[in-house]
Structures are given as structure tokens and as C-alpha cells.
């Protein structure tokens, strides 16, 4: 079933066009990987899905992006509600310089999700458990989130993202700043999260895409060259460009 | 071919030379500072001491125009005259003194001797009719003589202190009747034409009120302007133009703001002249750009990843700003504010223009009362001819410097205490 449908998406940074006519469907409760060389537009596309490009003054997004059959790329869309439904994890871990507890409770608080302190405590605990961080931090919830290791910080950011129970989680190269062990932990976590959430992940690592995703889209120079099941893309791609990139001949 | 050994040596030498230049620059700067501080402190520390002369005062009922046979009530003592008590007691210091010489003796004391004599009898009513020793404030010239700041070797006609006064003074001094104590009145008195009575209370309160008004006006305005420009305003020609002008505003000479205060606040709005209210508003025009620039710089220093994190959680732009960006930028903003205020505290020119240079011998109780300010007080005293004001100027500078150092220390502490580290 399609969770997200992008139709004829064009993105411009001022005069420069960054994405050309992207058409892509993203399946519900699956992991979709976006791969491609640097500057190919995969992160730009990801940021269209929760309208994070709004932050950039000169950025203009055209086309239709339907989530649950509703076009989010229109003025009338409430970005606050949208981002409540579509969480995001960034390349560099960016916890708030506040306590671990406040990092997680912030989302539920601003969206009014908890009626009481107990409920909020429960949400924090559940989120940290789902992010496989609870056992490591349960005794120091009042310490600053910035004091954790890089891998722990990234899992904290994932816990923060899932605290508001989003339907979709966008991940922008979530492991690129982490060591292999932390990366393995995050990948395991992604596998776990896809039971409840639709995940779109941008990655530079082909092996990571192969490991964690069911669908893969290959971007090159702002165009979506090929999209399909990960198996097919990695074993038997239709396009020569995809073949070349996967086998390491460029990029 | 270049001799590489020699080439390397040259590089080391030039680096050493460079370090030497840097060190000498620092030593030179410290030397100037040391000379400056030494000069101020060595001239000024005596202002914290004041000279008193103890002489026998004759509380003769006759001089007080009171009935000798009957003990007077406090009210009687309150109402009676003490000028003659003083004059008769002064005359008693030298049995052979003629009229002029008695006047000379009178001038050895501060003109408030009547009040001092009255104050003593009011607190000791039993001394009525007796001759008792009372401590009187010495005149500013004798104060300087006692502190050794007075050029006694000058010929008499070029001194304000006569030989006769010196003779009497030396005699009293030899008897141990002259003493100097901590000068409380320097901190509790308002300005006065008499150096021995002049204090900084009026100008200190004036400065304090001005700074508070300045803070109350400039901080909220500057903070809102900085937040809007940095977080919300679109980046276009208009905001560029505004930014350039804010930077220009920070470089405008302060006297121009003084003219603005004079022309607008006093002339158009008719606010009361010479008051800290007007002074504070005028100074806030000066601190406004400083605080805006500091606040924008510290807002800029908050990593964009924090804003993205908050926005991606579904926070609105205002929530992102108020919950995350502003709290993180506050230490920098506050220390910028304190430094801006410290600048305003030392500002003289604009205050002179709006009339805070007036001679104020009352202590202001609110920003609406006329007052001087510390730097203006320095200016007023530095213009005065009397020798007694020389040390007062340095003492006032010391108070101002201590005030400034304290403010800068607070700024440093705020910055260190609340600064958040992120990676």
C-alpha cells in the first residue's frame, strides 16, 4: 500500500533546479532507501516530505506530494500537524542542550499529548525503550542529552522523533557520524521500527541500503533514475547508470 | 641553491621577533594602565579621609539667648541661635585675636559649624552652660594642609590659607586636637560648593536611575528587534538596509544622541530637564544598537541543527525561537547588555546636553528628580578651582571604575555560568 506518492516534484534553489520531475511511491511500514552520489538531491527530496525546505528562503517546491492521499505541498497544509505525523532524524545527532527527559518530553508537550505527569513519564519511558536506550540512561534522565556518546545521542534523537508517534520517520544519513558498532545498533533499531512506522532513509552506504531497506530509489543529478525493490536494484537493475553506481564505477 | 639550514633558522628568528613584538605591546599597555591607576589612586585615596578639629565650645546661655537660671527644653535648644556660640568659642582659641583674626579662625571650619554645635547640644542637653570639647569639620583647605597636599611654602598672598590660620592650626595639631577619620559624608552627601562637604550620593543615585531606565527601555526593544531580524525577517534589501543602519547607529558619536534627547525628549515631549528619566532614555538610544548587535550575534551562534530539531518535532517558529534559540542565546545577549550599560554609565556628553550637568545639592529619590551622574560629577569637580576638589575627582573616578569593573565581572560570570556547550 502506498503511504507517500510524489508526482512531478521539481525543486529550485533560486535559479538552480535541484530536482527534476520526481515520481515516486513509498510503501507503508517498509524501509525505503534513497541512494546516490553527493549532491544528487536525495536529501532535498527527503526534506520535501516534511516541508523542512520551507526554512530555506530561496527554496521553491513544485508538484504534488500526497501523504495518506492528501497533498501536503500546498499553502493550506498545517506544517505543525504535518511534522507531528512525520518525524525526522538528522545526519549529525542534534539533541537539545537540555536533560534527556526534556529532550523526549518536548514533542508530546508542545502537541498536548500527555494529560498528566505520569502519562508523560510513560511516553518518555516507552520512547526510550523503543529506541533501545532505556537501559543505558534510565538512571540519569536529568543529565544533559549532549553528554551522551555519538551513537547514544542519535538513538536519543530517534527516541525524540518517535515520542509523538509519527506515521513516517525520515532519516537523513543517520549513521554517517557514527562508528560501526553504533551503526549496527541503529540499523537493528530501524528494523524494529518498521513494524509500526514507515521509514525513508537517505544513505551513502550501499551496504546499509541493502541491509535495511525493502525499496530503493537511485538519484543522480537531481533525477530519480530508478526505483524498485532493493533486491532488484542491487541484483538486476534496469538502468546502466544504476548498475555502474552500485558496482562502484562512479559516485 | 638556498642553504636550507640557514633558511630554517631565519624562520625561527622571525617567529621569535614576532612574539617579542606582541609581548612588548602587552607590557606597554599594562604600563600605561598601571601609571593611570597609580595616579588616580595616589591622588584619590585621601578623599576617603576627612579632617576634624576638636575645640572647646562654650555653651554659654548668654550666647544662645536663653535664660541661664532655668534648664531649657529640647525645643528651646532647637530654636536658639548658635552663631555667637561658635564665634565666642573661636575667639577663645586666641585671647589676643582681633576682629579679622577671629574671622580667619571661623574660616578654618566648614560653614556648617553652627549645625554641628547645635547637633552636639541637642544630643547632650546636659552640656548647657558648660564648656565642652566638640569635633568640628575642618575647612577643605585645612583638610588639604593636614593631608600634606597643600603648598605651605608658597608666599602668603598666593595662598587661601593665611599664616595666622596655619599658626592656630599647627598649635591645635600639636595638642592632638586635629584628627582624620573615614569620610562617610563623601558617600552620603549630595554635591556642594564646599569641597569638605561635597559627596557623590546625588550623582551615584543619578547614574543608578539612569542605568535602570536605560536597561528598562533598551533591553526589551533591542531583544525583540534582534529576534525579529534574526529569526523571522526575510533576508532582502530592506532588512540589509536596516542592518547596515543599526551598525551605523552604534558608531554615531554620543553627543548626537544628546542633541536628539534635547530636541525631542525635552523640547517636543516636555519631559523634566536634568532628570535620570531623560538621561536614561537618551543613553538607551546609544545602548540599543550595542545590544541588538550582541543579541543577533549570539542568536546566530546557536547552531541551526537545534532549530531544525525543534521544527522537525512540529514546533512552530515562535516555539522554536522562544523554547530553544532565545534561551541558548541569552548568556551572550546578557553579557552584551551589561557591557552596553557599562558604556552608557561612563557617558558624559549626552547627559551634559540634556542638563544633567546642573549643580544638584539634593539626593534624587526617583528618576523624575533632577540629578547629576558620576562622569558628569567628575567633569563638574574637575572644573572647580578649589584644591579640595582635586582628590574628589580622583575618588569619584575610583568609584566609577569600581562600578564598571563590577559590571564587567557580572557580565563574565553570566557568560560562564549559563553558557551551554554543544558539539
B419 pLDDT above the threshold of 80: no
Secondary structure (DSSP) of A86-105 = EEEE-SS----SSBHHHHHH
Q: Round to whole Å and give the CA distance between A34 and A230.
A: 10
**Residue B232 included in any domain:** yes
Task: Tell me the pLDDT band of B63, cut-offs 50, 70 and 90.
Answer: confident
Find the helix packing angle between A150-162 and A180-193, rounded to 10°: 20
Query: Does B206 lie in the same domain as B329?
Result: yes
**Residue B384 included in any domain:** yes
Chain A partners of B324 at a C-beta cutoff of 8 Å? 96
Query: Does B407 lie in the same domain as B286?
Result: yes
Kindly report, residue by residue over B318-329, the tens digit of the pLDDT: 999 999 999 999
Query: Does B282 lie in the same domain as B214?
Result: yes
Kindly report, residue by residue over B250-263, the tens digit of the pLDDT: 889 989 999 999 99
Q: Is A172 on the interface with B (CB under 8 A)?
A: no
Query: Does B77 lie in the same domain as B173?
Result: yes
- Is residue A150 helix, strand or coil? helix
Kindly report, residue by residue over B151-199, the tens digit of the pLDDT: 888 888 888 888 888 888 998 989 888 988 898 889 988 888 888 888 9
Q: Round to whole Å and give the CA distance between A132 and A135.
A: 7
CA angle A80, A119, B312 (to 5 degrees): 20
* Tally of structural domains, chain B: 2
Question: Which of B182, B215, B232 is the endpoint of a domain?
Answer: B182
Cell of A62: 513544485
Task: Tell me the pLDDT band of B421, cut-offs 50, 70 and 90.
Answer: low
Mean pLDDT, rounded, of chain B: 89
Q: Round to whole Å and give the CA distance between A75 and B1.
A: 71
Query: Does B212 lie in the same domain as B172?
Result: no
- The count of CB pairs under 8 A between chains A and B is 66
Best of A77, A93, A94 to disrupt the B interface by mutation (most B CBs within 10 Å)? A94
Q: How far is the alpha carbon of A81 from chain B, nearest alpha carbon, in Å?
A: 7
Element (H, E) at A168: strand A168-172
Q: How far is the alpha carbon of A119 from chain B, nearest alpha carbon, in Å?
A: 19
SS3 track for chain B:
CCCHHHHHHHHHHHHHHHHHHHHHHHHHHHHHHHHHHHHHHHHHHHHHEEEEEEEEEECCHHHHCCCCCCCCCHHHHHHCCCHHHHHHHHHHCCCCCCHHHHHHHHCCECCCHHHHHHHHHHHCHHHCCCEEEEEEEECHHHHHHHCCCCCCCCCHHHCCCCHHHHHHHHHHHHCCCEEEEECCHHHHCCCCCCCCCCCCHHHHHHHHHHHHHHHHHHHHHHHHHHHHHHHHCCCCHHHHHHHHHHHHHHHCCHHHHHHHHHHHHHCCCCCCCCCHHHHHHHHHHHHHHHHHHHHHHHHHCCCHHHHHHHHHCCCCHHHHHHHHHHHHHHHHHHHHHHHHHHHHHCCCHHHHHCCCCCCCCCCCCCCCCCCCCHHHHHHHHHHCCCCHHHHHHHHHHHHHHHHHHHHHHHHHHHHHHHCCCCC
Query: Does B75 lie in the same domain as B209?
Result: no
Element (H, E) at A25: strand A16-27
Query: Does B264 lie in the same domain as B365?
Result: yes
Query: Does B257 lie in the same domain as B116?
Result: no
**Residue B25 included in any domain:** no
Residues on B contacting A at a C-beta cutoff of 8 Å:
234-235, 303, 305-316, 319, 323-324, 328, 420-423
Cell of B403: 562600578
- Is residue A115 helix, strand or coil? coil
Chain B partners of A88 at a C-beta cutoff of 8 Å? 312
Chunked in runs of 10, what are the mean pLDDT values of chain A (251 residues)? 90 92 92 91 92 88 91 90 92 92 93 91 93 90 89 93 93 90 91 92 91 93 92 91 84 52
Chain B partners of A79 at a C-beta cutoff of 8 Å? 314
> Taking CB atoms and an 8 Å limit, are A87 and B316 in contact across chains?
no
Q: What is the CATH number of the domain that holds B207?
A: 1.10.3720.10
Best of A52, A106, A171 to disrupt the B interface by mutation (most B CBs within 10 Å)? A106
Question: Which of B182, B209, B230 is the endpoint of a domain?
Answer: B182
B4 pLDDT above the threshold of 80: yes
Instruction: Among B308, B319, B423, select the one facing A146 at the smallest CB separation.
Output: B423
Chain A residue nearest residue B235, CA to CA: A57
Chain B partners of A55 at a C-beta cutoff of 8 Å? 307-308, 311
Q: How far is the alpha carbon of A162 from chain B, nearest alpha carbon, in Å?
A: 10
**Residue B231 included in any domain:** yes
Query: Does B361 lie in the same domain as B292?
Result: yes
Query: Does B323 lie in the same domain as B376?
Result: yes
Q: What is the span of the domain harbouring residue B398?
A: 201-418
B423 pLDDT above the threshold of 50: no
> Taking CB atoms and an 8 Å limit, are A83 and B422 in contact across chains?
no
- Is residue A71 helix, strand or coil? strand
**Residue B31 included in any domain:** no
CA angle A185, A190, A196 (to 5 degrees): 140
> Taking CB atoms and an 8 Å limit, are A90 and B308 in contact across chains?
yes
| Predicted local distance difference test score (pLDDT) of residue A199 | 94
**Dihedral pair phi/psi, residue A243, rounded to 5°:** -55, -50
**Residue B194 included in any domain:** no
Q: Is A78 on the interface with B (CB under 8 A)?
A: no
| Predicted local distance difference test score (pLDDT) of residue B309 | 93
**Residue B234 included in any domain:** yes
How distant is the alpha carbon of residue B126 from its chain centre?
42
| Predicted local distance difference test score (pLDDT) of residue B420 | 62
Query: Does B356 lie in the same domain as B232?
Result: yes
Instruction: Decide if B293 contacts B247 (C-beta within 8 A).
Output: yes
Mean pLDDT, rounded, of chain A: 91
| Predicted local distance difference test score (pLDDT) of residue B1 | 62
Query: Does B365 lie in the same domain as B313?
Result: yes
Kindly report, residue by residue over B262-318, the tens digit of the pLDDT: 999 988 998 888 899 999 999 999 999 999 999 999 999 999 999 999 999 999 999
**Residue B235 included in any domain:** yes
**Dihedral pair phi/psi, residue A219, rounded to 5°:** -105, 145
| Global pTM exceeds 0.90 | no
Percent of chain B at pLDDT exceeding 90? 43
Check residue A14 and report its DSSP letter: T
Chain B partners of A159 at a C-beta cutoff of 8 Å? none
Amino acid at each position: 500500500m502506498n503511504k507517500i506518492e510524489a508526482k512531478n516534484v521539481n525543486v529550485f534553489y533560486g535559479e538552480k533546479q535541484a530536482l527534476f520531475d520526481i515520481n515516486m511511491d513509498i510503501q507503508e511500514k517498509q524501509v525505503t532507501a534513497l541512494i546516490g552520489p553527493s549532491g544528487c538531491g536525495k536529501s532535498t527530496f527527503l526534506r520535501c516530505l516534511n516541508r523542512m525546505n520551507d526554512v530555506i528562503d530561496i527554496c521553491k517546491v513544485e508538484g504534488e506530494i500526497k501523504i495518506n492521499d492528501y497533498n501536503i505541498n500546498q499553502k493550506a497544509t498545517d506544517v505543525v500537524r504535518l511534522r507531528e505525523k512525520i518525524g525526522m532524524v538528522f545526519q549529525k545527532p542534534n539533541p537539545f542542550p537540555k536533560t534527556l527527559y526534556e529532550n523526549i518530553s518536548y514533542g508530546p508537550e508542545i502537541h498536548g499529548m500527555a494529560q498528566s505527569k505520569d502519562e508523560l513519564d510513560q511516553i518518555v519511558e516507552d520512547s526510550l525503550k523503543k529506541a533501545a536506550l532505556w537501559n543505558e540512561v534510565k538512571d540519569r534522565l536529568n543529565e544533559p542529552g549532549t553528554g551522551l556518546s555519538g551513537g547514544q545521542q542519535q538513538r536519543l534523537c530517534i527516541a525524540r522523533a518517535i515520542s509523538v508517534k509519527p506515521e513516517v520517520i525520515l532519516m537523513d544519513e543517520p549513521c554517517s557520524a557514527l562508528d560501526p558498532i553504533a551503526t549496527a545498533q541503529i540499523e537493528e533499531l530501524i528494523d524494529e521500527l518498521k513494524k509500526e512506522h514507515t521509514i525513508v532513509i537517505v544513505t551513502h552506504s550501499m551496504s546499509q541500503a541493502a541491509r535495511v531497506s525493502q525499496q530503493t530509489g537511485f538519484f543522480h543529478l537531481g533525477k530519480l533514475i530508478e526505483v524498485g525493490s532493493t533486491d532488484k536494484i542491487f541484483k538486476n537493475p534496469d538502468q546502466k547508470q544504476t548498475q555502474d553506481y552500485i558496482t562502484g564505477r562512479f559516485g | 641553491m638556498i642553504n636550507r639550514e640557514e633558511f630554517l633558522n631565519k624562520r625561527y628568528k622571525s617567529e621569535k621577533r614576532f612574539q617579542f613584538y606582541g609581548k612588548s605591546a602587552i607590557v606597554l599597555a599594562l604600563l600605561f594602565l598601571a601609571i593611570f591607576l597609580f595616579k588616580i589612586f595616589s591622588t584619590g585615596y585621601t578623599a576617603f579621609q576627612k579632617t576634624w578639629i576638636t575645640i572647646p565650645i562654650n555653651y554659654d546661655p548668654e550666647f544662645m539667648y536663653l535664660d541661664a537660671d532655668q534648664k531649657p527644653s529640647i525645643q528651646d535648644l532647637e530654636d536658639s541661635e548658635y552663631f555667637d556660640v561658635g564665634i565666642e568659642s573661636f575667639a577663645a582659641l586666641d585671647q589676643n585675636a582681633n576682629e579679622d583674626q577671629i574671622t580667619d579662625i571661623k574660616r578654618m571650619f566648614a560653614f556648617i559649624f553652627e549645625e554641628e554645635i547645635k547637633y552636639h547640644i541637642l544630643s547632650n542637653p546636659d552640656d548647657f552652660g558648660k564648656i565642652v570639647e566638640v569635633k568640628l569639620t575642618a575647612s577643605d583647605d585645612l583638610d588639604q594642609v593636614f593631608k600634606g597636599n597643600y603648598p605651605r611654602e608658597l608666599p602668603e598672598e598666593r595662598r587661601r590659607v593665611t599664616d595666622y590660620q596655619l599658626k592656630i592650626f599647627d598649635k591645635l595639631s600639636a595638642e592632638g586636637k586635629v584628627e582624620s577619620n573615614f569620610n562617610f559624608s563623601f558617600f552620603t552627601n549630595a554635591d556642594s560648593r564646599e569641597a569638605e562637604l561635597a559627596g557623590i550620593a546625588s550623582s551615584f543615585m543619578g547614574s543608578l536611575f539612569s542605568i535602570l531606565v536605560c536597561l528598562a527601555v533598551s533591553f526589551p526593544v533591542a531583544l525583540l528587534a534582534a529576534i525579529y531580524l534574526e529569526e523571522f525577517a526575510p533576508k532582502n534589501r530592506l532588512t540589509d538596509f536596516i542592518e547596515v543602519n543599526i551598525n551605523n547607529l552604534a558608531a554615531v558619536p554620543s553627543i548626537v544622541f544628546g542633541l536628539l534627547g534635547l530636541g525631542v525628549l525635552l523640547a517636543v515631549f516636555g519631559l523634566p530637564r536634568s532628570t535620570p528619566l531623560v538621561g536614561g532614555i537618551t543613553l538607551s538610544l546609544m545602548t540599543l544598537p550595542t545590544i541588538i548587535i550582541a543579541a543577533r550575534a549570539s542568536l546566530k551562534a546557536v547552531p541551526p541543527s537545534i532549530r531544525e530539531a525543534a521544527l522537525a518535532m512540529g514546533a512552530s517558529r515562535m516555539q522554536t525561537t522562544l523554547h530553544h534559540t532565545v534561551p541558548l542565546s541569552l548568556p551572550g545577549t546578557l553579557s552584551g547588555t551589561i557591557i552596553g550599560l557599562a558604556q552608557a554609565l561612563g557617558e558624559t556628553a549626552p547627559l551634559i546636553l540634556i542638563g544633567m550637568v546642573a549643580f544638584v545639592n539634593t539626593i534624587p529619590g526617583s528618576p523624575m528628580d533632577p540629578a547629576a551622574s558620576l562622569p558628569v560629577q567628575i567633569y563638574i569637580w574637575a572644573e572647580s578651582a578649589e584644591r579640595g576638589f582635586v582628590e574628589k575627582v580622583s575618588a569619584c573616578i575610583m568609584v566609577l571604575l569600581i562600578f564598571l569593573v563590577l559590571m564587567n565581572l557580572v557580565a563574565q560570570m553570566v557568560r560562564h555560568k549559563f553558557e551551554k556547550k554543544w558539539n
